[in-house]
Amino acid sequence: MQATHAVMVRVADVDAPRAQAKAAGAVILAEPADQPYGERQYSARDPGGHLWTFSRSIADIAQQEWGGRMA
């Protein structure tokens, strides 16, 4: 089954829920990691095939510093 959408959830701690998600049957698609745009994130697919990204802000980085641009 291919996911048709994804959900991003803001959390206070990215690392702690990762173990709980894996224990509940989620497949971890991207381990917790600091991103150049100032977020710490991990991504998972739950047993129902839904895609989730859990994110926490760790720094306020200007978009030009990480290569972002206005659309």
Edge-to-edge strand ranges of the sheet holding 39-45: 6-10, 51-57, 39-45, 27-34
pLDDT band at 67 (very low <50, low <70, confident <90, very high): confident
Q: Identify whether the C-beta of residue 49 lies closer than 8 Å to the C-beta of residue 1.
A: yes
d(CA 38, CA 69): 15
Domain 6-59 has what CATH class? alpha beta
Strand partners, 17: none
Give the domain ranges of the chain: 6-59
pLDDT band at 1 (very low <50, low <70, confident <90, very high): low
Residues 44-64: what's their mean pLDDT? 92
Strand partners, 56: 40
CA atoms within 13 Å, Cβ hemisphere of 48: 6
**Which amino acid type is present at position 5?**
H
